[in-house]
Structure 1
Amino acid sequence: MDESRALRRTGWAGLASVVLLVAGVVLGYLVGVDDPGMSDAAIIERLNDDARQAGAGVGLPVLAAGVALLLWFAAGLRRVLDRLSGGDPLAHVVVPAAALFGGLIITGVSLDVASAFAAWSDEFTADPDTVRAFGMAGQVVALTGLIGCGVLVAVTTRIAQQAGALPRWVIWWSYAVAVLCLTGFWSGGMASVAFGLWLIGAAIGVLRVARRPPATQAVPAAGDGVG
């Protein structure tokens, strides 16, 4: 497979990962409890709703597929960053950072939906307080995973900045996204949305690199970068 085709597939994997990650989290939310103030009756109703249980059952594999595509994208992004930096070892951080995020978000969503899966069994009697505890634990774990996103964004932005591959406003916007992700536990959903938008931009950047002739792929023109 030629390099341009590999990068194109990498870029499309990045875009697809955004769709699947969002879908997986939304489907898990159907039965999850992230509001400890929810009434006991509402919690029990959510857990025993067959449609919501089925949605959550589909959501976890969808989420896992999204994480797999994100790792594919991160591996391709590392190749682009290697070119930009001339082999800076810092570029190799992006794949472990994506793996940290993927592992923690799967764990967090799994904790959130665990009680609903157990409710499929006639031998399980849900306790609302236990469900609340699992839900909050899942939320904390998933938000902690945004640290991996912050590292991914920061490393990519730093290398692109050193190579002069991005306009200044994109550089500072990307750093702002990195800070939001690193403080994701306190920024709530803002960090997740910001990272999703950044990931879309980075995937489009990789697709643009893939369209260039091989001789010009090594250093993107200003404004045509990867973030």
Structure 2
Amino acid sequence: MRSSGRTAGQGLRTPRVAAVAGIVSALLLAAAIVLVRLAVPEHPQDAAEWFADTSQRGSLTTALALVPFAGVFFLWFMGCFRDYVGAAEDRFFATLFLGSGLLFVAMLFVLAATAGSLLAVTGFATHSPGQGRDELWQYGRHFVLTLLSGYFTRMAAVFVLSTTTIGHRLGVFPRWLAWLGYLVALVLLLSVSSAGHLELVFPVWMLAVSGHILVSALRTRVSPSAGPAGSAPPRSHRDD
């Protein structure tokens, strides 16, 4: 009988590429936010410019193409973080982490669907202009910006807060990263809709966390205290 390379009962190991998922998701998310902010006007009187300028609609189309990949890689980032902290996470904050993360991805996809509807309404109104064209555009514009600057940022704030608290209490986040997380959560939670591009602090925080996890994984891999081949290195991520 052919022996298997994996012993019975041995669990699956997180792929090494998962450590890069947060970096990729942060870059895609930042690009999508910038494109949406540049494409969708903040002032209602810019309706004529929106219908005349096709480059704005092109930017929004590009943003919609990036959103699904940003959401998929964000789920990878969540899985990578849970593997990083191990099985010692608090149930309360673990529930907040999972709930806010999944709601954030759902909110991201709802935002993309709403922006896509705005493009569809714009295309219909451009070919068949009528009295209600501006009203439809105003409704779609307000819906997109409200989702982005209101509900999107609040879910991101809860996710940052729960993730930072887990990392800080378990000692896997350095002090500077914990302070950065609490500051980003406070900014996202108290942000107002008029503060454009403030949502970018979330992907910046994701870059910081993903970079720290990646560096810690590389240090653990090359650590001389890893022991004999095949043995698991000690799990210590404290880096104050």
> Shorter-chain TM-score: which interval?
0.7 to 0.9
- 1:18 to partner: Cα distance: 1.5
User: TM-score with structure 1 length normalisation?
Assistant: 0.79
Residue number among 38, 45, 55 corresponding to 2:52 in the alignment: 45
Q: Aligned residue for 1:193?
A: 200
Which deviates further from its counterpart, 198-207 or 113-122?
113-122
Please list, as runs of the form range in 1=range in 2, the aligned pairs for 1:31-42 lying within 5 A after superposition: 31-38=39-46, 40-42=47-49
Q: Does 1:91 align with 2:97?
A: no
One-letter amino acid of the structure 2 residue matched with residue 66 of structure 1: A
Query: What does the per-residue CA deviation read over 1:97-151, in whole Å, with 9 as the maximum and x for residues that have no partner?
Result: 2222222233234334523223434456572232122111111112212222112
Pair 1:94–1:124, CA change in 2 (3 A): farther
Q: Is the 8 A contact 1:33 1:136 kept in 2?
A: no
- 169, 172, 183: which one pairs with 1:176? 183
Partners of 1:189 and 1:52 in 2: CA distance: 17
AA partner of residue 90 (structure 2): D
Separation of aligned partners in 2, 1:140 and 1:52: 19
Q: Deviations over 1:70-114 (max 9, x none)?
A: 11111221222334xx14222343233222222223323433452
Work out whether residues 153 and 178 of structure 1, in 8 Å CA contact, stay in contact via their aligned partners in 2: yes
Q: How does 1:1-227 map to 2 (within 5 A)?
A: 3=13, 6=15, 8-29=16-37, 31-38=39-46, 40-46=47-53, 49=54, 51-83=55-87, 86-89=88-91, 90-121=93-124, 122-123=127-128, 125=130, 127-143=133-149, 144-186=151-193, 188-189=195-196, 191-211=198-218, 212-213=220-221, 214-216=232-234, 218-223=235-240
Q: Note the aligned Cα RMSD (angstroms).
A: 2.7
Q: 1: distance between equivalents of 2:103 and 2:159?
A: 10
Percent identical: 19
Q: Contact (CA 8 Å) 2:122, 2:137: kept in 1 or not?
A: no
Q: How far off is 1:220 after superposition?
A: 0.4
- Unmatched 5+ residue regions in structure 1? none
For the pair shown, which has the larger CA radius of gyration, 1 or 2?
2
Distance (Å, rounded) in 2 between the aligned partners of 1:68 and 1:45: 34
Q: 1:31 to 1:11 in 2, by over 3 A?
A: same
Aligned residues: 214
Moved over 4 A (4+): 123-126
TM-aligned CA deviation for residue 166 of structure 1: 3.4
